[in-house]
Structure 1
Amino acid sequence: MLNNRKSYPVLNHCIYANTAAYGLLGEELLEWRQNHDLDYLIGGSSMKIESLGLISEARDMVGTFFKCKSDLVALVPNFSLGLNMLLEGLDSREHILLLENDYPSVNWPLESRGFQISYAKIDEKLEQNILEKVRTNSITVLALSLVQWINGIRVDLDFLKSLKEEFPQLMIIADGTQFCGAFEIDFENSGIDVLGASGYKWLLAGTGNGFMLFKDLAKVRFTIKTTGFNSANAVLTAKNTIPFNKQFEPGHLDSLNFGSLKCALGVLNDIGMKEITAHNENLSKKACKGFSELGLLNKDIIHRNLHSTIFNIKGNNALFNHLMEENIVCSRRGEGIRLSFHHYNTVEDIDSILEILRKMK
């Protein structure tokens, strides 16, 4: 992974441990964006009309990357908008299971629509907590983040698959914004029915782009009301034959933003998601061991076999400010300090952070 670091100049003057907030802009994507806008500057509307094909290419790339049929891929500006459009088509009688203190853009849209809602606790027994609620509460929809934004707890995808096998009519909606790009996922063979994500974090695609992936069950369970001229590909006679995925694309999509997503996925493909997954899991184990030895992790993290590369360590504003002064870019989240690592980070980055923390003990 060391060869990839040179594409991210930010790393020349800091240890970037903040991908959970914003992923870095790489030189390859910067060059593509500059060329795109130069073509627009010179070509005007002709360039934009020609670039409509780029949107389809981006959709195909998303489908290939995550192993989802392209006609079940919707391109959306971000996950939050995609989820809200989706929920407008969900029957109000559904019984929803959420996770306590999950990301607000997962929980709030469901809580605001008057569904019957139950909650599972996020701790070291997360999967068991979910299973018990589904078995005893007549749950029809499970909505959750694959990785928790504050503490980095990562749900076991094998568990979701087995849960789906036990309860085939359970609709599983997942936010992959803190997962996709950091770890490999095969959507078609997962237990997830709807997977959405924004592209500006681990996918390193910048803001203004995201996607929603669907299984066939979603087309049965959701009656989507969103529509617009772009949904029909600007064909007046196609109003009544709009495909399910295109109902999430009522207006024009920006070729810069979704071309950026296509370019970013190409970069990750070139590195290889198997390699990125292995690298990030190694970083996760290294960080978990080091932070645990310093007594900086909650027991909910220490006692789990699976974790992401997001860690919330115990620390106050004084420690946070000290880390920033040492050029460690991180975030205050909850009651601690959130550090997050991606493929452009190294074990040496983690060693450096651990050394600073030891000196502060």
Structure 2
Amino acid sequence: MLDSGKKKTRESRTWIAIGATVSSIIVLVLFSFLLRCIKRRKERVKEEKANSQETGLLHLADGRLGNDYTYDALRGQKQEESQEFPLFPLHLAVEATQHFSDENKLGEGGFGAVYKGKLADGKEIAVKRLSRTSGQGLQEFKNEVTLIAKLQHKNLVRLFGCCLEENESLLIYEYMPNKSLDVFLFDSTRSVQLDWKRRISIINGIARGLLYLHEDSRLKIIHRDLKASNVLLNHEMNPKISDFGMARIFGGNQSEANTNRIVGTYGYMAPEYAMEGLFSVKSDVFSFGVLLLEIISGKKNTGFYLSELGQSLLSYVSDFLSFFLKNNIQ
């Protein structure tokens, strides 16, 4: 009877131990599951906040450009939006550019005109003014507002803010005193300022900016219009990639995309993009290769022609390399 009692006691202890172990495992599993839920919720809230900001900025530029807005009304956007992407009052832009005077006009593109401005504190800015008749400009405006505000790199032009007031749609950038790379590269007088050390520095800077867009930023971005005129130079001749109106964002593991709307500049486009609308990071790398040849040779791809052959710079280099490899590799 005693042995039987001891046996039952041992069995009870065993079941208690098993129960305690199972209970501990269940508690640990539940606790782990709870932690994962909390972590996922935080990530989802963070993602929703980022998406909310992008959606809000898109909403500012979509379907509302023809209406009048006051700066106070625009400042009513969520605080986190205005902190990351400040809204710029129209009267400051008007005063800085002297009412968008022709003397301050730096150039004009598909988006609209660009003006040099100077604020009351002496800070210089560049103001992109959307053309009211340009449908292409509206799409570029949307892209730049929602995209470049999220990017920060020393080789990307910095966007200070935007303005949507009184039928005006403006983007406010840092001012680049040396304008764009093509101004120096393809001018026989100014090109002497680009010695080999400086050209190599410019090449490295463009490559770093492109690497950031493709790999190191929180978004994978395909620029789609990389060319000499879209590389701006600051007072130290350091390059900054600009004009993200044509850029596209890739999400997740996406590596390529297809479009029926071919945008960009012929002469810099990869063949698969120009002919089939297929683009990827390789498209930007192709454009960078063309730009590299232009920086090295000082000749514009679309303006380089041999009188007897009628070749572009790209086809000339391709034929030369083919000839060289054919005759020097056994």
Query: Per the shorter chain, which TM-score range?
Result: under 0.3
TM-score (norm 1): 0.23
The structure with the larger Rg is: 2
- The answer to which structure, 1 or 2, has the higher relative contact order (CA under 8 A, 6+ apart) is 1
